[in-house]
Amino acid sequence: MDEYPKIREILKPLTLYLNEDIIIRLNYLVDFEGIEPKIVARKYLQGLGLIE
């Protein structure tokens, strides 16, 4: 954050979509369902309409 202070504002909207329960669920998909982290992240962000 010290090196790139603007990143705080860029990432701020994600705090609306990432809380403890959601992170646990996403980690479950990776750790126990065996889904690649990149796929879990992409599907989650697509589901939120943040990426295509």
Question: In the prediction, which pLDDT does 39 show?
Answer: 98
pLDDT digits (tens, 9 = 90+) for 24-47: 999 999 999 999 999 999 999 999
Buried b / exposed e along 18-39 (16+ C-beta atoms within 10 A)? eeeeeeeebeebeeeeeeeeee
- Please enumerate in sequence order all residues whose Cβ is within 8 A of that of 52, keeping only pairs 6 or more positions apart, or say none: 46
- pTM score: 0.72
Question: In the prediction, which pLDDT does 11 show?
Answer: 84
Q: For the chain, give the mean pLDDT.
A: 92
